[in-house]
Structures are given as C-alpha cells and as structure tokens.
Amino acid sequence: MTNQLTVWAPAATKVQTLLDRQLFDMTRDGEWWTLPQPVEDGQRYQFVLDDGDPLPDPRSRYQPEGVHGPSQVYTPHTPAPWQGMDLKGRVLYEMHIGTFTEQGTFASAIDHLDDLVELGVEAVEVMPVAQIPGTRGWGYDGVDLYATQNTYGGPAAFQRFIDAAHSKGLGVILDVVYNHLGPEGNYLASFGPYFNHDHATPWGDAVNFDGDDNKPVRQFVIDNAHQWLVEYGVDGLRLDAVHALVDDSDTHILAELSTSVAQWSQEVSRPLTLIAESDLNNADMVTPVGATQGARGMTMQWDDDIHHCLHAFFTGETHGYYCDFGSAETLVKAFTKVFVHDGGWSSFRGQNWGAPVDVHSSHYDAASFISFIQDHDQVGNRATGDRLGHNGADPHLQAAAAALYLLGPFTPMIFMGEEWAASTPFPFFSDLGLELGPTVTTGRRQEFAKMGWQGEFPDPQSRDTFESAKLNWAERSEHDHADMLDWYQRLLDIRSSLPGLKDTSLTSTTMEVLSPDAVVMRRPGVTVITNRGDDPVTVSDLPSNPSSTLVRGHQEIMGDSVTLTCPGCVVVVA
C-alpha cells in the first residue's frame, strides 16, 4: 500500500526526505511540506530540515531502531469487527506489556487474555506503548506519540492484541501522555512550536495548547487520539495527569478532544471512552461539555482519594500524602461522597483542595469514578515497588480492601498480579542514556527522602530492577496465591450476578463506622463487613436468606448476626 509523507515545519526554508539513502525535496503548502512521490509500507525514512541532521517523523507510526533511528511506513489494518463496549462500571485491569509476561510482548500477553476473562475482567487498560528511549520503561517518557514500542512488537503486533482481546469480549483502553514528552529523543521542537515557553511544568515547557501557532499542536493530539480509537480500534484512552495540561484557551484541549471523540463514536457506531487521571478532585472533569463552565467531558476519572483511604486504613500508613487518610470516617466519606478532599484542608498540599460532589447530579454517577487498591503509580512510586500484601502483611487485609472496592459502586480497576497477591514488586524502571540515567536515580532518591522513605531502593536504570517486576504466572497455583485468586474470582462472580449492583447512583451505597477499625458497607443485595483490628465487632442485621456468604479470617455467624474476631476479617453476604 502506498502512502504520502507530510510534515508540519512552519519555520523551515527547505525540507527533504531521506529515503533509500537519497535526499528528495519536499514541496511546501503553507506551513506543511509534502513528499511528491508515494512511499510503500515498510520503507524507512527521515526528514532533513534546512540541511540539518536527519530526524524521525513526528507522526511516525513505527521506530524499529528506537527514538533516534529512522521512521518506518506502516498502514494500519482495518480492525476486526467489534460491537464496542460501554466501559463505565466494567471491571478494568491495568497492565504493563513489558512485565505482564516473561517475554514482555503483545504476542505473549495474548496468551493470558483467557485467564483475565476467567477472572471476571471486562477490559484491559494498557500502560503507554508510545516509543520510549531504550528497551524498557513505564512508557511515560515517550517521545514518538504515534509510534508503538518496538520491543513490544510494534504497531502490527498491537493491532493483533486489540483484535484478540475483542474476540474474547474484552475492551481495550490505552494509556496516553499528552501533558509532556520525555527528554531523550524529543525532536519536536526542531520542527515547530510544539512547546510554550510561557508555561512551566515539572517536565519543562508545557505542550503548546494556547500559545502562538497552537492549532497544529492541538490537532497533533486530536489526530493521535483518532489513530488509537478509530484506526487501531481501541475502546478508550486513559489520559495521564490531565491536571498538568496547561491551556488557557477559551476551549480547553480536553473539551475539544471530548467533542471530537463523541463525533467519532457516532461515525464508528460504538462507544468510545476518555478516562482522566486528575488530582484536582473536581467533578467538572466528568461533566459533559457545555453543562458547566469548566466541564471537560471525560467519561471517567481515577479517584486517588478512594485508594488513599483503603490503603491507609488497612496498612496503617499515614505519612506523606496519606497523612489525611487512614480513619474509618475518611473511608466512609470516600465511598459515599467520592472525594475526601472536597474543598477542605489538605495537609500534604498545605491548602484547601477540591470541590464538593453533587451526589444527585444527572451528569455523572458513581461509575464515573475509578476505584483501586493498587495501580502503577501507587505501587511503583514506592521506594521498593512493594505491593499491598508484601513485607509480611496479613493477606486478609488485602482481601478485605478488595471486597470493598470490587463490590462498591465505582468502576473497579485491578492492577496486574494483584488478583493472586503476586510476590513480584513493581518498582520504577527506565533505560535512559548515560547522561540522563544517573539524574533519574538521584532525583528519585531525593524524592523518597522527602516522603520519609528510609533504606536502599532499586536503581531504576538497572536491568535487574526491570526483570524483578515481571509477573510469575506459575505462582498462581501455589496455596496462598491460589486462595487470593479464588477470592477475587468469587467477588467478581457476585458483582456480575447481582442485578442490584448495577445501580451506580451515588446514593445507592451506605456505610457505617462500627468501631475505629471496622466498617460495614451496604449496597442493593450485598453487605460487606470488615475489621482491621483485634477487638471483635458484631453486626446483627444481615440480609435474610442470602444466596452466598463469603468469609475470610475468624468470625462467628449466628442467624442474622456476625461477629468478626481478628484483624483482616471480612464477611460478604449477598
């Protein structure tokens, strides 16, 4: 199949294409340049601006030799037939392709999709696959946003993964990063004003969404979303750290993207989803565009407050950003009011934070917010990448936390390996060059010191750190791991079988503090009681004639009452 090469380079006076070791002049049309002759799939090429060094295509779909090498022409195949999926309220599963299997490829990941279906997962959320420097990393320092990581198998392998997931009834969400680009191999500024020097971010100058000549930059992002959602066939995008998207335009880039995605959804006749990672604690993020002045139109957003409450309550950690969490009362607030910081004081931030959530709103519901007890950030940004059940923690505590969030009103998300209490950690890892690599290591050491972490931590640049994160699928059949896997499957069976749990209104859940260590959650058709402490607690008004009762830990059940007698006890009555 033939393709036409074009590139935006407004300031250049001459642009050429290096193709088959020959330079070919491109023709100019305003700020855009076009190679007159078509190119074939598989051909490698680079652009040369004003007789400079050859550079990869900003819209390259494939970088077979990495971020510094030539681009390769790739034409996506038409996605396999798929009716689509409304992802709100579905069971999501976050995965990192490079560590999901020993091989770390899309092809090997396909081999475990049936395991996820058996577990009860309904959609996979794939961490970023845009081309990154080196051979390993989390994906958030990508610099070729249209290209698919070569070590995972490239774009053709990704499309086969998407089609395979759809054939098994699984939706596919892709994590994308529009708030910054990585430092190594980032050649965008050589082509045009992709960055706005007037706005600073933790990663450097902000992406130019509101400065001079911003329209092609905004379109660069919109077209990238179109590639993944329409051309490759994914069902949704998870947008990284949207609070770091600096845009003072009349129409925020998120609102523009939301409007475009709604139009594409009609064109392809299937639901398309946008998920925001936002720490702003403002429901305007999931309010339809036009409904309020600041509405951003996202379908869902991650809710860190729910995670913080569950983690701090069941582990007792209250340092760093957990300092306002950990009590039974904050846990109840998160499950009934969505955010703990909803306009009041945030001790960690040193200011008031967030805004109240209207629990009766018609613009969003509980399923608009994603709950979890582990994710790549909350595990990987710990000094050693330790999971909830590591360091000798009682596995019943994880089981109790899982019962609350998997049967709660929100859209639940499982982090890969969590379902069997994986023994492998998930530390941060990268493969930057000799100049940037040591800087990353030093920076993380300083960051952990501020958070109060003590002791050694794995070097992000060491290959051993990356290897340590790879899941050990064989351990799923071992006793303790198999018990946790069975627990998760049974919880998800209840979730899928009870019609009352389809009620995702923010008023469908009630919670009660039984003691400083115990809470009870009631939803239509299910009651969950958990106790993290040593003192027994009793609940006497259980549902009559339950179809199933799940228990972990020591308890006494007599008639319509139950007494939980040990740390980590949990009882689910459905």
Q: Do residues 181 and 143 touch, judged by C-beta distance below 8 A?
A: yes
Q: Across 159-250, where does the E strand assignment appear?
A: 171-176, 195-201, 204-207, 236-239
Phi, psi dihedral angles at 160 (to 5 degrees): -65, -35
Q: Is 495 helix (H, G, I), strand (E, B) or coil?
A: helix
Give, rounded to a whole angstrom, the gap between the first and last alpha carbons of the chain: 56
- CA separation for the pair 8, 4 (Å, rounded): 14
- CA separation for the pair 131, 123 (Å, rounded): 23
AA letter at 353: W
- CA separation for the pair 125, 92 (Å, rounded): 7
Q: Do residues 287 and 295 touch, judged by C-beta distance below 8 A?
A: yes
Please, what sign has the CA dihedral across residues 486, 410, 232, 210? negative
For residue 180, count CB atoms less than 10 angstroms from its CB and return exposed for 0-12, middle for 13-18, buried for 19 or more.
buried
- Name the catalytic one among 57, 94, 210, 277: 277
Q: How far is CA 448 from each of CA 126, 419, 505, rounded to the nearest angstrom? A: 27, 28, 39
Q: How far is CA 137 from each of CA 104, 239, 324, 445, 463, rounded to the nearest angstrom? A: 11, 18, 32, 18, 10
Q: Do residues 520 and 564 touch, judged by C-beta distance below 8 A?
A: no
CA-based diameter of the chain, in Å? 84
Tokens describing residue 452:
């109060």
- CA separation for the pair 561, 506 (Å, rounded): 27
Q: Which residues contact 16 (CB under 8 A, 6 or more apart)?
A: 23, 24, 25, 26, 47, 48
Q: Do residues 72 and 60 touch, judged by C-beta distance below 8 A?
A: yes
Q: Which residues contact 265 (CB under 8 A, 6 or more apart)?
A: 271, 272
Catalytic residue list contains 517:
no
- Render 514-571 in DSSP notation, one character per residue: EETTEEEEEETTEEEEEE-SSS-EEE--PPSS-S-EEEESSEEEETTEEEE-STTEEE
H runs (alpha helix) in 60-208 = 97-100, 106-110, 113-119, 154-167, 188-191
- CA separation for the pair 514, 516 (Å, rounded): 7
Give me the residues paired with residue 44 across strands. 72
Tokens describing residue 30:
């305003």
Q: Across 184-303, where does the E strand assignment appear?
A: 195-201, 204-207, 236-239, 273-276, 300-302
- Name the catalytic one among 163, 210, 240, 475: 240
Q: Do residues 254 and 242 touch, judged by C-beta distance below 8 A?
A: yes
Catalytic residue list contains 240:
yes
To the nearest 10°, the Cα dihedral for 292, 295, 301, 303?
A: -60
Q: Which residues are catalytic?
A: 240, 277
